[in-house]
Chains A and B, each alone.
Chain A
Amino acid sequence: MGKIVRITGPVVIADKMKGSEMYELVRVGEEGLMGEIIGLTEDRATIQVYEETSGVKPGEKVEGTGKPLSVELGPGLIGAIYDGTQRPLTVIRAKIGDMIKRGVSAHALPRDKKWEFVPKVKKGADVVEGDILGTVKESKLVEHRILVPPGINGKVLEVADGAHKVEDAIATIETADGKRDIPMMQIWPVRRARPFKEKFDPNEPLLTGQRVADTFFPIAKGGTVAIPGGFGSGKTVFLQQVAKWADADIVTYVGAGERGNEMCDVLVHFPQLKDPRTGESLMERTTLIANTSNMPVAAREAGVYTGITIAEYFRDMGYDVALMADSTSRWAEAMREISGRLEEMPGEEGFPAYLASRLAEFYERAGRVRTLGSDERFGSVTVLGAVSPPGGDLSEPVCQNTLRIVKVFWALDTGLADRRHFPAIHWLTSYSLYVDNVREWWKQKLGEDWKSLRDEAIAMLQKEAELEEIVKLVGPDALPEPERAVLEAARMLREDFLQQFAFHEVDTYCPVEKQLGMLRLVLDFYRNSVEAAKRGIPVAEIKKLPIKDTIASMKRLPSEKFAKEQGKMEKQLMEQFEALLKTRKAPVEEGKREG
């Protein structure tokens, strides 16, 4: 048993710790606070403590547990809210009241709840790690697949049927090392990635129902995304939008060092929202990790790992999982704080030198994989990380190290947020390296032209930016009419397509078919109006066309209604432009080219 020799904030130093291991979970002090060994020299251990340390004294004991920090995996995860070390917050509240006090513990998975286990293997079958032993209908949306744990292969001697608790053996397997009872619950150390067979390049989009994402800067199932931006620029709202509407099977939402009310927001609103594909409540596929800014920093550091381990576990069942981490900067700051207390040699801006490798390791746990198991099962973990750069300046270490890793960059712009252009994702600075990966998918589902329409739209906005530069120098008068027509169309693209108000009952979610339809209309308008302007029609006339208002109201149309009216709108657009052109007989210069 060790003995405390020093306490400074969340860091405790203890002697007589011979025999302990790095990352071993320990019980600190008389109250048995939960801690983890993060440094060992000879018999002295440095421990980060997941709970408040005031009142702890040198001389108090430290007890090893022989186990690393681990999570419980099994039925009961869905709909739960945990702190960073997987303490179930609802259970804790029932136990000790509204404020989180230290020294309480509770099982992450309920022990006495019985789950209806449906076996999928027969007695006598040969199974390998990752095989599905059976299933539990955990929630309306999630069929929880109970897998043979990694490292176990052999013959099924016994398999259960019916209602069981998570610790009950639901199968017995004869392995090379003897008989093993397999319960529904697995324990897994959070800092170790769960194994799989093979990793593949993501090739299917993770659809979010957000136009700027799906159409402009798509993410892919198994991909990585960073969403950096100053305070109030819209990181949380956008991540929550993705958590709500993405076509993922499972959502793991990690609140790392952010606001209590935001977690409460999820808890209040998700159960009321319906998954557009199944009509079931969104909470039926969601797990929350909430370690808010005022909760102990060491647990914040751990929470990100707790979240990704849960995500991997569902991936292993063959599901597409989306994990949101809000905010990775607060996570990095937790590392910095602990590192500072350890008096480690600081790297850039005081962050520990291992910041870059920790970030890389974390995002590396994303991916589309072929899972363990003898059936061909594929699953994915998509990771979306918010980054909160000081002063909104992206040149800081967390941002820079993240951008080196992730494949999609949704750049939030405070200027856009200030004028309530939401989502404030900037169309010129953002990018997605998955455009080519998901192109085939779009082609198969929605026809040839997604990529070319998207490129045309982005080019138009690029052109707008150049023209705006000119206007800033010489005023709008100096522009010839066709260029003014570009500005008008670009404004339409921004306002009627890119802007998508998260709190609008209809527009909060826009299916891809509708996205593409909307984009077609805007681009038709664009081409036609530039053409008309070239033929001498003043932009002022074009602006009066009623189709402009029709386009402006598209986003409020429910998608079925839009689908019905789309053809009509396209027709109206052509007719109105034709009529307009007839008012001007004489074509000018090169105005003859076919539109």
Chain B
Amino acid sequence: MKGEAVKSREYLTVAEVSGPLMIVEGVSGVAYGEVVEVITPDGEVKHGQVLDAYEDRAVVQVYEGTRGIDTFKTRVRFTGETIKFGVGLELLGRIFSGRGAPIDGGPKPIFEDEWDVHGAPINPAAREYPSEFIQTGISVIDGMNTLVRGQKLPIFSGAGLPHNELAAQIARQAKVLGEEEKFAVVFCGMGITHEEAAFFIKDFEQTGALERAAVFLNLANDPAIERILTPRLALTAAEYFAFTQGMHVLVILTDLTNYCEALREISAARSEVPGRRGYPGYLYTDLATMYERAGRIKGKKGSVTQMPILTMPGDDITHPIPDLTGYITEGQLCMDRELHRKGVYPPINPLPSLSRLMKDGIGPGRTREDHMDNSNQLYAAYAEGKDLRALVAVVGGEALTERDRRYLDFADRFEQEFINQGRDEDRSIETTLDLGWELLRTLPEAELKRIDPKFIEKYLRPK
């Protein structure tokens, strides 16, 4: 982060400090959104931003937290600028703090331009509709919740579930078939532990991905308010790589739950009317200003694909964080504790999962003609199998018909053979679809109503 002191003015008039906010009085000409530098009596330099600008007063949120700020000696410098971040190719291969300072011991990267970290909304009329299939090599994603370039597809997870492993596997394996193009990974950690950060960095190092990655880390013991800024730096970098440098960028953002907590903290400090469960009423809009930074633009080569990770408090999908996320993103991959207990990896339950952009990313010329029907039928069959499982739990297995029994077997095999795969297993889309057919073949043909008869002939009937 950078705030050049061009039109800067300095004040010693901090009137109040409360939570992550401080109020500075006797100021003049302070702009809404302006960057502030705070120098504590100990000489520590902190950074903040104006949230509420009055003629003679400003409410400032301080990214590093307000500890050490007093109301006598603290100096506050208004920089006359909104928050900018220096972008350039030198960001690749580097690791930054949550405020964008290099923390890998390397020199300060030379930047080519400075961009407002809040970005600007992509004109809907400038968007290119995302439709390029990304093969992740993971059957339950490629086959049933296909990811495309420029999509925002979050992972809804829970504490202790292997979302990091999955994200790392996707970062490793993701490719667009038949293409050799420039790609980059932007990793943004918000409130994650050292171990988690180390896990990703090690994975990127081992696969050589680090050279093509820009890593931003706000760790669990870093200031919480900084988390508001970190993803915006990461997304600014991603937009630069994608739309100026023509790269295909995968952005991994984790953990959005920590981000939302920070937002809630600020809202509470401002005594705003809280929305559901204490989160501010504008949480939806705030999240949207980040998630909507994914996409493609007409006439530009690159793309920003987002994979945000969030841990659902209490595994509750109706909690505001997953709920509002699901209302913005183009689908979701839902991790399931029961599957995890059964030892299924990745424990993605396809039923509540969804990829909204799948329809234009699959089919003849993209994946295969039978993809849509295959996926729809697997959905329906697995749903039926799970219903029957619930029924058996109540009334016992004796009452079941032959048909029912086949569905139960199907559901078991589907979990163990289709969803379940190795942490390094990279399945081609053909393998995935063929596996789907193999499982569907175990069901009575008359049950397969989602499949066009011409595909029954071609793909289903035993070969």
Contacts and interface: CB of A to CB of B under 8 A. Distances in A.
B53 A99 contact: no
Nearest to B326: A231
Contacts of A471: 391
B82 A260 contact: no
Contacts of B395: 472-475
B391 A100 contact: no
Interface residues of A, number: 77
Interface in A402-449: 414, 418-420
A53 B119 CA distance: 13
Contacts of B328: 259, 293
B29 interface: yes
A340 B29 contact: no
B124 A290 contact: yes
A257 interface: yes
Contact of A264 (B31, B128, B289): B128
Contacts of B192: none
B6 interface: no
A58 B54 contact: yes
A65 interface: no
Interface stretch (A353-361, A386-394, A510-518): A386-394
Contact of B51 (A8, A255, A259, A349): A8
A14 B241 CA distance: 41
A333 B273 CA distance: 13
Nearest to A548: B446
B54 A6 contact: yes
A5 B54 contact: yes
B129 A231 contact: no
A268 B34 CA distance: 39
Given A232-B331, A390-B323, A418-B352, A90 B285 contact: no
Given A5-B54, A7-B52, A101-B120, A53 B275 contact: no
A419 B351 contact: yes
A92 interface: yes
Contacts of B198: none
B369 interface: no
A476 B401 contact: yes
Given A264-B124, A552-B449, A59 B29 contact: yes
Q: Which of A232, A477, A501 has the most CB of B within 10 A?
A: A232
Contacts of B34: 54-55
Nearest to B376: A420
Contacts of B351: 418-419
A5 B288 CA distance: 29
A420 B120 contact: no
Given A231-B323, A350-B281, A267 B396 contact: no
Interface string B117-134: 011111111111110000
A549 interface: yes
A5 B55 contact: yes
Given A93-B126, A393-B318, A57 B53 contact: yes
Interface in A310-326: none
A419 B127 CA distance: 31
Contacts of A330: 284
Contact of B391 (A261, A418, A472, A552): A472
A54 B33 contact: yes
B32 interface: yes
Nearest to B290: A294
Interface string B263-289: 000000000111110000110110011
Q: Which of B275, B276, B384, B452 has the most CB of A within 10 A?
A: B275
Contact of B446 (A92, A388, A549, A556): A549
Contacts of A297: 282, 285
Interface in B327-343: 327-328, 330-332
Interface in A282-313: 290, 292-295, 297
Interface string B30-54: 1111100000000000000001111
Interface string B359-399: 10000000000001000100110011000000100111011
Contact of A390 (B276, B372, B399): B276
Interface in B37-95: 51-55, 82
A93 B396 contact: no
Contacts of B399: 475-478
A230 B317 CA distance: 11
B453 interface: yes
Contact of A8 (B53, B127, B275, B324): B53
A269 to B, nearest CB: 8
A56 B292 contact: no
B357 interface: yes
Interface string A219-249: 0000000000011100000000000000000
B423 interface: no
Contacts of A92: 123, 125
Q: Which of B122, B372, B380, B394 has the most CB of A within 10 A?
A: B122
A265 interface: yes
Contacts of B28: 58-59
Given A6-B52, A58-B55, A99-B123, A346 B273 contact: yes
B212 interface: no
B273 A503 contact: no
Contact of B449 (A7, A292, A495): A495
A231 B376 CA distance: 19
A57 B125 contact: no
Q: Which of B124, B273, B380, B391 has the most CB of A within 10 A?
A: B124
A52 B33 CA distance: 10
A333 B29 contact: no
B295 interface: yes
Interface string A247-277: 0000000010101110111011000000000
A333 B446 contact: no
B297 interface: yes
A440 B119 CA distance: 55
A81 to B, nearest CB: 5
Contacts of B372: 503
A340 B450 CA distance: 48
A333 B285 contact: yes
Given A53-B32, A231-B326, A419-B379, A99 B127 contact: no
B32 A54 contact: yes
Contacts of B53: 6-8, 56-58
A98 interface: yes
A548 B444 CA distance: 14
Interface in B396-440: 396, 398-401, 404
A473 B393 CA distance: 11
A419 B121 contact: no
B380 A419 contact: yes
Q: Which of A92, A98, A101, A501 has the most CB of B within 10 A?
A: A98
A261 B127 contact: yes
Interface in B306-358: 318-320, 323-324, 326-328, 330-332, 351-352, 354, 356-357
A533 to B, nearest CB: 16
A464 interface: no
Given A260-B292, A350-B275, A89 B123 contact: yes
Contacts of B126: 93, 97-99
A541 B367 CA distance: 40
A295 B82 contact: no
9 closest A-B pairs by beta carbon, nearest first, are: A54-B33, A475-B399, A293-B288, A391-B318, A419-B383, A475-B395, A231-B326, A7-B32, A294-B292
12 contacts: A8-B32, A55-B82, A59-B29, A92-B125, A267-B124, A293-B284, A294-B289, A294-B292, A294-B293, A419-B383, A474-B395, A503-B359
Interface of A: 5-9, 52-59, 81, 89-90, 92-93, 97-101, 230-232, 255, 257, 259-261, 263-265, 267-268, 290, 292-295, 297, 330, 333, 336-337, 340, 346, 349-350, 388, 390-393, 414, 418-420, 471-478, 495-496, 501, 503, 543, 548-549, 552-553, 556
Given A58-B54, A261-B127, 5 more contacts: A57-B30, A98-B126, A230-B326, A418-B383, A473-B394
